[in-house]
């Protein structure tokens, strides 16, 4: 984090002692750092902070289709939108709760399986062997394909007469003329999870593969000499060695997956997500843009934001404490 201002040519100087002196000399007037950081701060405010504040404001007003031409005329509701969203006895609250539960299940399954596959692939490719580069490239393909193209391909495969059912019929798991549906009804969630895992695991693989580069090879040799089997080696050397990577990776995967919008939006089509796979991002989108209850949609967004802040906060507190304890 410390700013090193010394020139690399001055090799003999001790960095710690020289740095503060140099910094003063190089920044006359003190305005330069502010000028340099100003564009970032202004953009941050414009792109992140201002829309969030507008969103929070909208959550307190009755911004429906009747007021979109004149936001100022929308009646102020206080916490009215929140009351509707959180009234789990009403149709709206109940469907939000259901959507939340589905999203939680979706997130747990997708993150867990993506992580497991990513880890397995990273470990498998840890040691150098002939053709390793080919596998590395191959594994990253789902991540490299444009997301829309990939998901649309899945959409075709999941049609009733698509490749998935054809395959299942061939191996005897489905009968011809009674092929299961994958994009409507109860199978929609597993189908959605499959696509999400397909597009998520290469990222886990990439991160873990990079993390593995920093694990000392000698430790494996020493462990092998001590008679540790591969699983024990993985548990006692690989996993602790990947601790910092995992902490960030799991958090990022959790946030991305919980907020996943593209996968269901493309897989099911606009407004066509079945209730069994009604992820919260789609639920909020439909409330806002299909039903044009922007106030209600915003209140749901704010609730989601609060939930994710709490989860993220707890996660980081716990994982940081554990990291310190282990240190």
Partner 1 sequence: MKFSRHKKLAGAIVGTAAIALLAAGCSSGSGAGGSTKGATLTYWASNQGTSLANDKAVLTPELNKFTKQTGIKVKLEVIGWNNLQTRINTAVSSGVGPDVVNIGNTWAPYLGATGAFLPYDSANMKAIGGQDKFVATALATGGQQGKTVTSVPLYGLAYGLYYNKKMFSDAGLTPPTTWEDMVTDAKKLTTGSVHGMGLEAGSYTENVHFAFITAEQNGGQLFDSAGKPTFTSDAVVSGVQRYIDLMQTDKVVDTSNAQYTNGTEASADFAKGKVAMIVNQDNAGPNLTADGMDPSAYGVVAIPAPAGGQQVSSGIQGINLSVFKNTKNQAAALKFVKFMTSAATQGVLGKPYASIPVLKGVTPTFTSDPVIAKTFSDIYNNRSKPYPLVPLEGAFETNVGNALNNLFATVATKGSVSTAQIKAALQAAQDKTNAAG
Residues near partner 1 (CB under 8 A): 1, 47-48, 50-52, 54-56, 58, 64-71, 84, 90-92, 95, 159-160, 180-181, 183-187, 251-252, 255-256, 259, 261, 269-272, 274-275, 281, 284-286, 288-294, 296-298, 300-301, 304-305, 308-309, 312-313, 316-317, 320
Cβ atoms of residues 60 and 79 within 8 Å: yes
Residue with tokens 């503060």: 20
Q: Rank residues 5 and 95 by Cβ distance to partner 1 and give the closer one.
A: 95
Phi, psi of 127 (to 5 degrees): -85, 145
Q: Rank residues 44 and 217 by Cβ distance to partner 1 and give the closer one.
A: 44
Q: Rank residues 157 and 223 by Cβ distance to partner 1 and give the closer one.
A: 157
Q: Rank residues 84 and 125 by Cβ distance to partner 1 and give the closer one.
A: 84
Of 158, 185, 189, the C-alpha closest to 174 is 158
| Local structure of 76: helix, strand or coil | strand
Give the residues across from 293 on adjacent strands.
Answer: 64
Q: Rank residues 32 and 305 by Cβ distance to partner 1 and give the closer one.
A: 305
- Indicate the DSSP class of residue 64: B
Q: Nearest approach, Cβ of 255 to partner 1 (angstroms)?
A: 5
Q: Nearest approach, Cβ of 313 to partner 1 (angstroms)?
A: 7
Q: Rank residues 122 and 188 by Cβ distance to partner 1 and give the closer one.
A: 188
- Give dist(CA 13, CA 201) in Å, integer: 46
Q: Nearest approach, Cβ of 318 to partner 1 (angstroms)?
A: 12
Phi, psi of 61 (to 5 degrees): -120, 160
Q: Nearest approach, Cβ of 154 to partner 1 (angstroms)?
A: 15
Q: Nearest approach, Cβ of 287 to partner 1 (angstroms)?
A: 8
Q: Nearest approach, Cβ of 281 to partner 1 (angstroms)?
A: 8
Q: Rank residues 35 and 69 by Cβ distance to partner 1 and give the closer one.
A: 69
Of 201, 202, 194, 207, the C-alpha closest to 106 is 194
Cβ atoms of residues 161 and 179 within 8 Å: yes
Those residues whose C-beta lies under 8 Å from the C-beta of residue 35, and which sit 6 or more positions away, are none
- Give dist(CA 83, CA 2) in Å, integer: 47
Phi, psi of 64 (to 5 degrees): -110, -175
Q: Nearest approach, Cβ of 34 to partner 1 (angstroms)?
A: 20
Cβ atoms of residues 204 and 249 within 8 Å: yes
- Give dist(CA 204, CA 256) in Å, integer: 12
Q: Rank residues 230 and 271 by Cβ distance to partner 1 and give the closer one.
A: 271
Q: Nearest approach, Cβ of 84 to partner 1 (angstroms)?
A: 6
């Amino acid at each position: 984090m410390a700013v090193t201002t010394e020139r690399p040519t001055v090799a003999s100087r001790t960095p710690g002692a020289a740095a503060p002196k140099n910094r003063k000399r190089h920044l006359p007037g003190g305005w330069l750092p502010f000028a340099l950081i100003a564009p970032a701060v202004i953009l941050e405010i414009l792109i992140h902070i201002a829309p969030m504040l507008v969103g929070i404001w909208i959550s307190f007003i009755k911004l429906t289709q009747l007021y979109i031409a004149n936001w100022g005329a929308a009646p102020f509701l206080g916490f009215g939108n929140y009351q509707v969203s959180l009234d789990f006895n009403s149709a709206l609250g109940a469907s939000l709760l259901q959507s939340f539960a589905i999203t939680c299940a979706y997130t747990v399954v997708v993150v867990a399986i993506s992580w497991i596959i990513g880890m397995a692939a990273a470990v498998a490719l840890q040691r150098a062997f002939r053709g390793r580069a080919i596998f590395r490239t191959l594994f990253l393909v789902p991540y490299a394909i444009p997301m829309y193209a990939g998901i649309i391909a899945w959409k075709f495969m999941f049609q009733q007469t698509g490749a998935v059912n054809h395959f299942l019929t061939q191996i005897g798991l489905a009968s011809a003329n009674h092929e299961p549906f994958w994009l409507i009804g109860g199978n929609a969630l597993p189908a959605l999870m499959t696509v999400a895992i397909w597009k998520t695991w290469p990222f886990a693989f990439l991160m873990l593969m990079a993390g593995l580069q920093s694990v000392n090879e000698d430790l494996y040799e020493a462990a092998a000499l001590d008679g540790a089997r591969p699983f024990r080696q993985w548990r006692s050397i690989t996993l602790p060695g990947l601790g910092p990577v995992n902490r960030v990776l799991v958090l990022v995967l959790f946030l991305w997956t919980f907020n996943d919008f593209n996968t269901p939006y493309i897989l099911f089509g606009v407004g066509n997500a079945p209730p069994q796979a009604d992820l919260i991002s789609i639920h909020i989108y439909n409330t806002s843009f299909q039903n044009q209850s922007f106030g209600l949609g915003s209140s749901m967004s704010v609730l989601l934001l609060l939930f994710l802040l709490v989860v993220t906060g707890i996660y980081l507190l716990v994982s940081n404490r554990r990291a310190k304890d282990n240190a």
